[in-house]
Amino acid sequence: MRFRSVIFNLIAGMLAFLAVDTCLAADSDAKKGYVVDVPVPLGADSTSNVLLQLERLAKSVPEGERITVVLRYAKDAAGGESTPFEDALKLARALTGSDLRALKIASYVQGTVNGHSVLPILASDTVILAPGAILTDASAAESAPDETIVLSYRSIAARRGLFPPAIVTALVDPGAELAWVSKTSGGQVFATGDELKELRSSGDVLSEEVWSASGSSLKIEAEQLRSTKIAAGIVDSLEGVAEILDLAETSIIDDTAVAGEAKGVMLDISGAISSSRVRRWQSNLDATLAGGDINTWILSIDSSGGDFDESALLAATFASPSPPLRSVAGLIENEARGDAALIAMACKPLLMKADATLGGPGQDTISVGELDNYRELIDQIAVSAKRPPALVRGLLCRDLEVYRFTNKKTGRVKYATKEGLVSESDEPDLERDRWDQGELIDLTIGLSADKAIELGLADGRSDSLDDTSRRMGLAGTPPPVTDRGVVRWVERLGRSQGLMFLLLVVGFITLSSEANAPGMGVPGFISLVCFGLYFWMKYLAGTAEWLELVLFFLGIICIAIEVLVIPGFGVFGIGGLAMTILAIVLMSQTFVIPKNTYQIEVLTRGLWVAIGGTMGLFGGFLLMRWLFPHVPLFNALVMETPDAAAVNEAEKLVDFNHLLGKTGNTTTPLRPSGKARFGDEIIQVVSDGTMVDSGVEIRVLEVLGSRVIVEPIT
């Protein structure tokens, strides 16, 4: 029977080991822990703050699962005697209550903790200590032992069963003697008070170690707790804590993210990233902090990037908010491509709409060299926002190959390039052997919301800005940052490609009208307004600068010279048309030469818009020549083309030879044809090639049938 029992236990043990090992290897997400800092001394506000963080973590845990939370007590913890008993009891009861049952609580004590700050430690599932850590004198603030307090301590400790009742009593009652007793009958126990006296009088004491004498406060050191198996281990870092708790990683929860009432503003980061726009955004955001009441920024992101330098500086601001600002949350509405992805990943939390894209080719191409120049800053942003640095760099530069590595011992997952995995190790080969290389993470075309969340580059999904704002503790979508309303309105209009195309077409058509009927004014004014609005919208969108504006108007001037001054279609016409198309294309993008597929798509779209818009120039000429002369509303703008037969008949019946050498005055501008008055007679005349205004004195140079050629008299 004994043999069967041994075999059964061995088989059961092996199966259990395989089951646990398989579970750990397959489910790395279950091995992630969170760190919450517990201030010493505790107070009403700090207790509420810690509880709020724990409650939010508990609500995030799927039904039927548990996550590990480490309560960290700092090395320089001091003033525990100032912790009110009511606040410590409130936290301890919550830790052992049903509302936080989804959390496995571990206390990590790095320094000396005394007073009632000790009580929450007794309510932990696990205690881990740093070298030199001490628990002592829980009743430091009490003038005399209070039976109610003693009973509360014992009740809290009993819920966990980690600390023996005798230790709990000695921590609260300095008058109680505590000894670690080895009994002659076998076993070791902690004893105090009457129990200790009874053991001594019974002769059942083989040996004893007095931990605290009667009348002196109990002082428990790390080694004592470890030797009695109360503490799970002694380590000097969070990495060591993770090893003891079998965690692949630990994330520190920022307590400022939940402290106090949230008051925020919203910034819309859409379109291209440019230096002028970034300066305006930073100025507007900084202005919101002047009053001290705004502590939350909500970013609505829909951008393809444009300037890596500006994006990096903006991301650094968002990743490490300075008081009174405590959190910067982001929502990707549609896309955050290229360098705009760095701005998005600097937000904590970063939420995405279901069909949004993070990363992928954008308006700016980022090389490995540029990435190396900003490596320290990018890593700082990634660490501050709790993102994997290698994945952040890989998402920005498509030339980097980032792999998933798994620690062979702990199952911890790490993302790195092959070179980056061992770059900081003194023994590269040994470090490489500690990891199993997994799949290559494809970051070249960007990430969907689900994939970004899985990789830790985004924190969740959200359907709207209102939902994102409420998650940050706001009542709803906050007001936009201070800016002129007309600027925001024009920026929204500028995102309509149809409107941009319409402005170009109307602008060129009205420009043609003005060229065909100079002096009318209204078509020219409309053309100027259309082109001005087009440039302004592109400028606010961050894709147009003064160079494009100069190039555009130089092109228009060259076309005007070709049409009005030098009839035909030569160098000025071709050059002007080329400059105009180039300016329109450059106004739609932040690059000059495309270097990726996204930039090629943007260039192609810009070319079609430019070509379609300039077709309005030729369309305008056709309208003026063929349609407008027959439309009552517009027939005054142009002269109707004369009928050839009527002209021939007129030439037969009319003789203007008597006007040769005569002088008169123009009644209409000669461009080059028009009308002039000679005495009481008004006839059609043609200038000698020069443009002549109305009311100018002229002389007849030559008469060819009904064709009267004149020149101005200077």
Q: pLDDT tens across 63-73, in order?
A: 778 889 999 99
Residue 631 pLDDT? 52
Q: Is residue 269 part of a domain?
A: yes
Looking at residue 606, the DSSP 8-state letter turns out to be: H
Q: In the structure, what pLDDT confidence band is assigned to residue 249 with cuts at 50, 70 and 90?
A: confident
The DSSP letter of residue 521 is -
The answer to whether residue 569 scores a pLDDT higher than 70 is no
The CA distances from residue 315 to 118, 152, 380, in Å, are 40, 49, 10
**17 is a domain residue:** yes
Does residue 164 sit in the same domain as residue 298?
A: no
Which of 372, 381, 284, 380 has the alpha carbon at shortest distance from 341?
381
Q: Token pair for residue 32?
A: 């992630």
Burial 467-484 (b: 16+ CB within 10 A, else e): ebbebbbbeebbeebebe
Burial of 369 (0-12, 13-18, 19+ CB in 10 A): exposed
pLDDT tens per residue, range 1-13: 333 343 334 334 4
207 falls within a domain: no
- Does one domain contain both 31 and 165? yes
- Regarding whether 595 and 565 lie in a shared domain, the answer is yes
Lowest mean pLDDT among 12-26, 75-89, 435-449: 12-26
Region of poorest pLDDT, from 74-78, 103-107, 151-155, 164-168:
74-78
pLDDT at 598: 59
Which residue has tokens 């504006």? Answer: 549
- In this structure, are 571 and 662 located in the same domain? no
Domain identity same for 38 and 19: yes
State mean pLDDT over 39-59. 83
Residue 267 is part of a domain; what is its CATH number?
A: 3.90.226.10
Give me the DSSP letters along 150-181: HHHHHHHHHHHT-S-HHHHHHHH-TTS-EEEE
Q: Is residue 626 domain-shared with residue 673, that is, in the same domain?
A: no
pLDDT in tens, 487-499: 555 556 655 666 7
Q: Is residue 434 part of a domain?
A: no
**Within 13 Å of residue 712, how many CA atoms lie on the same side as its CB?**
16
| One domain for residues 161 and 310 | no
Same domain, 305 and 234: no
Q: Tell me which residue has tokens 């030339």.
A: 399
Of 630, 661, 687, the position where a domain reaches its end is: 630
For 338-377, how does the pLDDT look when each residue is reduced to its tens digit (9 = 90+)?
889 999 999 988 999 999 999 888 776 777 887 888 888 8
Angle 85-95/147-160 helices, nearest 10 degrees?
A: 20
Q: Over the chain, what is the mean pLDDT? A: 78
Each residue's pLDDT tens digit, 91-118: 999 999 888 888 999 999 999 998 889 8
**Residue with the larger pLDDT of the pair 638 and 426:** 426
Averaged pLDDT, 269-283: 81
Q: Does residue 295 belong to any structural domain of this protein? A: yes
Higher pLDDT, 447 or 619: 447
664 with 554, same domain: the answer is no
Question: Is 417 part of any domain?
Answer: no
Are 580 and 552 spatial neighbours (Cβ–Cβ below 8 Å)? yes
pLDDT 10s digits, 430-444: 888 888 888 898 888
Residue 490 lies in a domain: yes
DSSP reduced 3-state for 332 = strand
How many degrees, rounded to 5, is the angle at CA 541 between CA 340 and CA 609? 110
Residue 304 DSSP SS3: strand
Point out the domain boundary residue: 566, 598, 630: 630
- Rounded alpha-carbon distances, angstroms, from residue 597 to 363, 536, 602, 653: 10, 28, 9, 70
List the CATH number of the domain containing 670: 2.40.50.140
Q: Is the peptide bond before 712 cis (omega within 30 degrees of 0)?
A: no
22 and 154 co-located in one domain: yes
| pLDDT score at 604 | 75
Q: How many domains does the chain have?
A: 4
How many C-beta atoms surround the C-beta of residue 37 within 10 A? Answer: 19
Give the span between the Cα atoms of 245 and 35, in whole angstroms: 12
Instruction: Tell whether 669 and 611 lie within a shared domain.
Output: no
Instruction: Give me 351's structure tokens.
Output: 């939420």
Contacts of 521 (CB under 8 A, 6+ apart): 514
| Domain co-membership, 509 together with 557 | yes
Residue 197 maps to a domain: no
- Could you tell me the two tokens for 273? 């990233």
Domain around 499: 485-630
